[in-house]
A and B are shown apart, each in its own frame.
Chain A
Amino acid sequence: MNLKDETMTQTEASSEQQKSSESLTSLAAGALLRHRSGMVGLVITIIIIFMAIAAPKLKPYNELEMHAEDRFHAPSGDYYFGTDEFGRDIYSRILIGARNSLSVGVVSIAIASIIGVTVGLITGYESGIIDTLVMRFFDALLAFPAILLAIVIMAVMGTRRSDTNSFLSAINTTLPAFPAMLAIAVVNIPAFARLTRASVLTEKEKEYVEASRALGAKPARTIFSEILPNVMATLLVQVTVSIAGAILLESALSFLGLGIPLPAPSWGSMLSIGRGYMPFAPWYSIFPGLAITFLVMGLYLLGDGLRDVLDPRRQKLV
């Protein structure tokens, strides 16, 4: 076989591979569309993402605008979800709150997954003293209940908020939710690292990894180009479910007064303040709680659907 033929064969092989991976993706997408609860989750998640993106257009009032004459106004045509103690429109605050909750969920899990997956890939592939030390450290982190660790980290970050010279203070001014994002990310890193490491330990014994090594590929190439794509399905499910957990955790932190600082609307802090007015303004606590529940439920159902669809044992996709 001459060089030209060889190149053509390689190109054909790679296009075949691309086709097969495309068809697998479309098979998975098709299976997700047929998955009843997965679809419900997808629809709920898309609706809330759309509302969060279009919030500035959809909100009838500015979320910080006070209407003194309409304090504790019950839900009506003017104020769909009623108003709070300052006469601010709860519906508008919930729409903007969706942006905050989603951004905290997505950014914190992005940070956690990037760090956790990288650490998991490296420690799983190169077992040794570093692997042992890193995993023992993560074991120690995992020994903390998530909420407790997040509370303690948030309490520490609070110091830097008032410290005008610190780097964190500068970030806080531009991104007030940053401490919450970081705290939730730290809580989630060990889970990503452990999951990835476990998958890598299984994958690295397989023939394709051996083949990659035999072809002389450097460890970094084998890890990121060969192993990573094969553990992506597991990670995708973990990311979806973790975003749901992160949103719940942020709302719990805000509920305790440790999350996104006021007056920025956060579903958790709205609930916490609304609790004080429960007897005569129940809507103040009901609507933010419903918003959290719907978003988390949507993500949970989507994650559950993805797990079913991407697991060949469950769906016999492959």
Chain B
Amino acid sequence: MGKYIIRRVLQMIPALFLVSVAVFLIIHNIPGDPAQIVAGPNATEEQIAALTRQFGFDKPLKIQYVTWLKNAASGDMGYSYINNYPVNDMIKQRVPATLELAVAAAVIVLLISVPLGIFAALKPGSFIDFSSTIFSALSFAVPGFWLAIILIMIFSLKLGWLPPSGRPLFSEQPVEHLKSLIMPAFALAIGVSAKIARYLRSSMLEVLDQDYTRTARSKGLYEKTIIGRHVLPNALIPVITVMGLQVGDLLSGAIIVESVFAWPGIGRLTVQAISWRDYSLLQADVLYIVLAFMVINLITDLAYGFVDPRIRYS
């Protein structure tokens, strides 16, 4: 197990290197000269040239990349071109908001998808199953940002129950803080819930068809015991992989949802970094998101082994 983790972590290094090269090349092709943007519309040619030198944009791309990689390897991701803040600090400030949103959304996902998946599988072909299929399709199809707009229309503009945007500090306004979390978390969770419910349904149907389920039935066990002890734990095993992948989806969904609700997280920072042409910030931001994806995948693979002892790591 220890060896497996070390090997997986070591495998991440070349992958991250590849990603860093790709990100560097792509981002340096984004339109707009950051030196020009930082200098402002009234800047002289000399001022722009001085900034270009200061940022090192006058050097060949290869040199720029090597310099950046050296610094990144020592944990220094550079400074924002726009406000000169250390990029690491800017990202650190935004991480708690995104994590909070992702955790709240994950709780909503479980509350919706598990009962939905179970009921649909217990009565396949029934009206409940059909309704759950339609609900899942609807949840998958509703764009998160549109759902966000509709929620704002109803709960903020019409009823005035929830704030339309922002995130007040928990230490200052705890109730308002929690209220501000409800709509973004729900908008983020709904699409993922549909996917998990569908996977759980198929997985349950397969387990219900297994010999050991038939044996449990023939022993005269209560249906509740059969489902709770034999079917559900086995059906959840493949769903865990999907859940791990969906955490990634939650993070990428956050890019849009955070923008709609002005939620001060990593997603909104990414969109802002693009519109500001802040290469330095965007590069670090994208790399951290990709790293988070890889770590989540590793945790999912390990979790898979815990719930299913038949899986051995080699």
Contact residues of A with B, CB < 8 Å?
A: 36-37, 40-41, 136-137, 139-141, 143-148, 151-153, 155-156, 158-159, 162, 244, 248, 251-252, 255-256, 268, 271, 274-275, 278-279, 282, 285-286, 288-289, 292-297, 300-301, 304
Contact = CB atoms under 8 A, between A and B. Distances in A.
B178 interface: no
Given A151-B271, A156-B26, A158-B30, 10 more contacts: A41-B137, A143-B19, A148-B270, A156-B29, A158-B31, A268-B143, A271-B145, A289-B146, A289-B150, A296-B140
B143 A301 contact: no
Nearest to A160: B31
A252 B145 contact: yes
B289 A148 contact: yes
A155 B141 contact: no
B18 A140 contact: yes
Contact of A153 (B26, B134, B150): B26
B137 A137 contact: no
Contacts of A289: 142-143, 146, 149-150
A56 to B, nearest CB: 26
Nearest to B134: A37
Contacts of A41: 137
B231 interface: no
A151 B274 contact: yes
A140 B153 contact: no
B141 A244 contact: yes
Interface of B: 14-15, 18-19, 22-23, 26-27, 29-31, 130, 133-134, 137-138, 140-143, 145-146, 149-150, 152-153, 157, 198, 248-249, 251-253, 255-256, 259-260, 270-271, 274, 286, 289-290, 293-294
A255 B256 contact: yes
Contacts of A275: 149, 260
A289 B150 CA distance: 9
B146 A297 contact: no
Most buried by A among B14, B23, B31, B138: B31
A285 B146 contact: yes
Contact of A143 (B140, B145, B293): B293
A145 B255 contact: yes
B294 A252 contact: no
A136 B145 contact: no
A36 B130 contact: yes
Contacts of B294: 143
Contacts of B142: 289, 293
Nearest to A252: B256
18 contacts: A37-B130, A137-B18, A141-B22, A143-B19, A145-B249, A145-B293, A148-B255, A152-B23, A159-B30, A248-B143, A251-B143, A252-B145, A255-B145, A255-B256, A278-B152, A285-B149, A301-B133, A304-B198
Contacts of B141: 244, 248, 292-297, 300
Contacts of B19: 140, 143-144
A256 B140 CA distance: 20
A79 to B, nearest CB: 20
A270 to B, nearest CB: 11
- Which 10 pairs from chain A and chain B are nearest by CB? A145-B252, A289-B146, A296-B141, A297-B141, A159-B31, A156-B29, A140-B18, A155-B30, A37-B133, A297-B137
B137 A301 contact: yes
A304 B149 contact: no
A115 B60 CA distance: 33
A145 B248 contact: yes
A147 B255 contact: yes
A278 B145 CA distance: 14
A293 B133 contact: no
Nearest to B130: A36
Nearest to B202: A314
B149 A278 contact: yes
Contacts of B260: 275
A41 B31 CA distance: 41
Given A136-B18, A145-B252, A279-B157, A300 B149 contact: no
A271 B149 contact: yes
A162 B143 contact: no
Contacts of B133: 37, 301, 304
A286 B30 CA distance: 33
Contacts of A144: 19, 286, 289-290, 293
B149 A145 contact: no
B146 to A, nearest CB: 3
A294 B138 CA distance: 8
A256 B259 contact: yes
Given A148-B286, A152-B286, A293 B143 contact: yes
